[in-house]
């Protein structure tokens, strides 16, 4: 059963506000790919825009530049091994979706690969061309044009971390294959 529900674009930045390690998915014609990325962040609320570092030597970069689009997907904690694996293999030599058995559909606006299960959320993004940032810093910008989240962990425009959805909680790379899972929610007191 697919638990993904659309997230309104006004709430899209909240999906990546807490700095999760993500998958960057890409496609160009029959070619498709997925890589891990620890370095991404929102840069604008309205319209929602994000930045992600995609090294110029990756196969992903080639596909993103060819198609002008990508998707950001947020793997849940059960996908930690898979996330590390797709971050240590290149799509130039293997179709990682087939090789690792990743069940992906197509995003509604740009047709980017989006997961059918296991990820907390995904965002489809249209590439915003910034040649200097791309060349000098491998930083690619995208405007979010569609987003969805698993309703068991993100609902009503907010994350709902609880003991019941630990498997879906986002992961954050500490380095060297070590990750921490999100979930210890602290509520700031207001004066």
Measured in degrees and rounded to the nearest 5, phi and psi for residue 16 equal: -120, 10
- 25-44 footprint of ligand FMN as x/- string (CB under 6 A): --------x-xxxxx-----
Candidate list 9, 31, 84, 133; residue touching ligand FMN; CB under 6 A: 84
> What is the rounded CA–CA span in Å between residue 127 and residue 140?
7
Using DSSP bridges, classify how beta strands 158-159 and 154-155 pair: parallel, antiparallel or unpaired. antiparallel
> Segment 125-184, which members bind ligand FMN (CB under 6 A)?
173
Contact between 15 and ligand FMN by CB under 6 A: the answer reads: no
Residue (of 4, 16, 128) closest to 65 by Cα position? 128
**CB-wise, 49 or 173, nearer to ligand FMN?**
173
Contact between 100 and ligand FMN by CB under 6 A: the answer reads: no
Measured in degrees and rounded to the nearest 5, phi and psi for residue 134 equal: -65, -45
Smallest distance from ligand FMN to CB 145, Å? 22
Candidate list 88, 116, 162, 178; residue touching ligand FMN; CB under 6 A: 88
Q: Where does this chain touch ligand FMN (CB under 6 A) — which range of 7-15, 48-56, 100-108, 119-127?
A: 48-56
DSSP line for 61-102: HHHHHHHTEEEEEEEBGGGHHHHHHHTSS-TTTS-HHHHTT-
Contact between 59 and ligand FMN by CB under 6 A: the answer reads: yes
Candidate list 43, 44, 78, 89; residue touching ligand FMN; CB under 6 A: 89
**CB-wise, 13 or 58, nearer to ligand FMN?**
58
Smallest distance from ligand FMN to CB 114, Å? 17
- How distant, in Å, are the alpha carbons of 25, 26, 29, 78, 135 from that of 67? 12, 8, 8, 30, 17
Contact assessment for residue 22 and residue 70, using Cβ atoms and an 8 Å cutoff: no
Contact between 78 and ligand FMN by CB under 6 A: the answer reads: no
Catalog residues that contact ligand FMN under the rule CB under 6 A: 21, 33, 35-39, 53-55, 58-60, 84, 87-92, 173
């Amino acid at each position: 059963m697919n638990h993904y529900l659309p997230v309104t674009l006004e709430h899209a930045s909240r999906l990546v506000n807490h700095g999760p390690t993500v998958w960057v998915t890409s496609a160009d014609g029959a070619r498709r790919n997925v890589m891990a990325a620890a370095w991404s962040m929102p840069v604008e609320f309205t319209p929602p825009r994000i930045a992600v570092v995609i090294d110029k030597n990756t196969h992903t970069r080639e596909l993103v530049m060819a198609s002008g689009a990508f998707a950001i997907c947020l793997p849940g904690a059960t996908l930690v091994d898979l996330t590390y694996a797709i971050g240590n293999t290149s799509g130039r030599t293997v179709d990682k979706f087939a090789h690792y058995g990743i069940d992906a559909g197509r995003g509604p606006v740009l047709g980017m690969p989006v997961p059918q299960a296991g990820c907390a959320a995904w965002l489809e993004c249209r590439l915003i061309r910034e040649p200097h940032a791309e060349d000098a810093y491998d930083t690619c910008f995208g405007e979010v044009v569609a987003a969805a989240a698993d309703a068991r962990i993100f609902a009503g425009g907010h994350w709902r971390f609880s003991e019941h959805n630990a498997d879906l909680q986002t992961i954050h790379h500490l380095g060297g294959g070590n990750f921490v899972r999100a979930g210890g929610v602290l509520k700031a007191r207001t004066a």
